[in-house]
Amino acid sequence: MSVKTPVLETKRLILRPPELSDADVISRNWTSDDDVTRYVSWSKHQSVDDTKQWLEMEVGRIDSDASYQWVFVHKETGELIGSGGFALNEERGMHELGYVLMKKYWNQGLATEAARAMVDFALGTLGIKALFARHARENPASGRVMEKVGFTYHCDGTCRCLDGVRAFHSKEYILTAP
């Protein structure tokens, strides 16, 4: 079933489709931060142009059922604080969930809140039967988020980054619909 990326809401967040006008804030808040991008499969953005290029791709896929991406808006402050979503991982034969938050919002349960909303949408609205997720071994906090939203540890692995150069040891998780 093809569904346009909707707005999702949690207690503290609004998850909405990204817009090209978000580029400056996203670049400043997380895509260019060394700490935030240390354990992700994409490369740190060197300029706002990198962020614009990524957003152009994501905005172009808003009507696609192969990828669902959101930016996370903190309800209390109105600030864009992160992004995430899931896209079809053809190698795994299932959609892969990912998320990232700007540093000042770490360890507040917000990644879990966003991940739960995305998982509920995937399973409940789209009827997806299984999701895949992974995190760098050196980033166990991300694994705790996965476990809190229903993923179970599957195996150790290696994540090859999108730049084709970097790779990291990972822990892989699967969530199967009940």
pLDDT at res. 164: 64
Print pLDDT tens along the chain (178 aa): 568 899 999 999 999 999 989 998 988 877 867 777 677 666 667 788 888 888 888 888 877 777 899 999 999 999 999 999 998 888 888 999 999 999 999 999 999 999 999 999 999 999 999 999 999 888 889 999 999 999 999 988 776 755 666 667 789 999 999 8
Within-domain flag for 62: yes
CATH of the domain at 76: 3.40.630.30
Within-domain flag for 60: yes
pLDDT at res. 82: 95
Segment 67-85, tens digit of pLDDT:
899 999 999 999 999 999 9
Alpha-carbon distance 58 to 53, whole Å? Answer: 9
Within-domain flag for 142: no
Report how many domains make up the chain: 1
Alpha-carbon distance 92 to 131, whole Å? Answer: 9
Q: Are 71 and 18 in contact (CB under 8 A)?
A: yes
- Which residues have C-beta within 8 Å of that of residue 105, sequence separation ≥ 6? 74, 81, 82
Within-domain flag for 175: no
Within-domain flag for 75: yes
Within-domain flag for 157: no
Whole-model pTM? 0.89
Within-domain flag for 36: yes
Residue 93, judged by CB atoms within 10 A of its CB (0-12, 13-18, 19+), counts as: exposed
pLDDT at res. 163: 63
Q: Which domain holds residue 115?
A: 8-128
pLDDT at res. 58: 85
Within-domain flag for 171: no
Segment 159-173, tens digit of pLDDT:
675 566 666 778 999
